[in-house]
């Protein structure tokens, strides 16, 4: 139960930060491009790389710290950071083809699923 609370705390902070970044980019850059989403996805991936390399691999961060920051905070900030980490781990394991297939299929299938969901709801009307 403690691990769930740790993830929830990090997730609440991450989601709140994502909202603030979205508001800031909307005000600064306007609504004509999803700058907020792009910003949180790229920044979240960058921060995930820093976190994993420094705290987990080099300093031996605890499971609780990983749950708070990687799963909770960065997962709430953006799930793209977790996706990026999965691709990097596959690549580092020497599974370059799997990494490429995973990356391409994740993007294509996720966008297709979104369109399928939109179409499903439209079909009910």
Q: What percent of the chain has pLDDT over 90?
A: 62
Distance CA 71, CA 95 (A): 23
CA gap 24, 20 in Å, rounded = 6
Every domain of the chain and the residues it spans: 2-79
Residue 79 has pLDDT above 80, yes or no: no
d(CA 116, CA 109) in angstroms, rounded, equals 10
Q: What's the pLDDT band for 12 if we cut at 50, 70, 90?
A: very high
What confidence category does residue 72 fall into, taking pLDDT thresholds of 50, 70 and 90? very high
Instruction: Supply the angle between the helices 80-92 and 35-51 in degrees, to the nearest 10.
Output: 50
Grade residue 23 by pLDDT with cuts at 50, 70 and 90: very high
| Best mean pLDDT range from 5-14, 39-48, 112-121 | 5-14
Determine the pLDDT at residue 88: 92
Indicate the burial class of 76 (C-beta count within 10 angstroms; 0-12, 13-18, 19 or more).
Answer: buried
- Give the confidence band of 5 by pLDDT, cuts at 50, 70, 90: very high
pLDDT at 34: 86
The residue written with tokens 């994502």 in the block is 18
| Residue bearing the bigger pLDDT, 37 or 17 | 17
pLDDT score at 113: 86
Contact by Cβ (8 Å): 19, 81: no
């Amino acid at each position: 139960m403690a691990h769930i609370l740790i993830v929830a705390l990090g997730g609440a902070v991450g989601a709140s930060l994502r909202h603030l970044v979205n508001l800031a980019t909307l005000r600064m850059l306007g609504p004509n491009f999803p700058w907020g989403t792009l910003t949180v996805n790229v920044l979240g991936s960058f921060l995930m790389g820093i976190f994993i390399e420094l705290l987990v691999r080099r300093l031996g961060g605890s499971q609780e710290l990983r749950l708070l920051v990687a799963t909770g905070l960065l997962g709430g900030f953006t799930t793209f950071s977790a996706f990026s980490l999965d691709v990097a781990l596959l690549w580092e394991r020497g599974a370059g083809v799997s990494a490429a297939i995973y990356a391409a299929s994740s993007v294509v299938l996720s966008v297709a699923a979104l369109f399928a969901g939109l179409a499903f709801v439209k079909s009910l009307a």
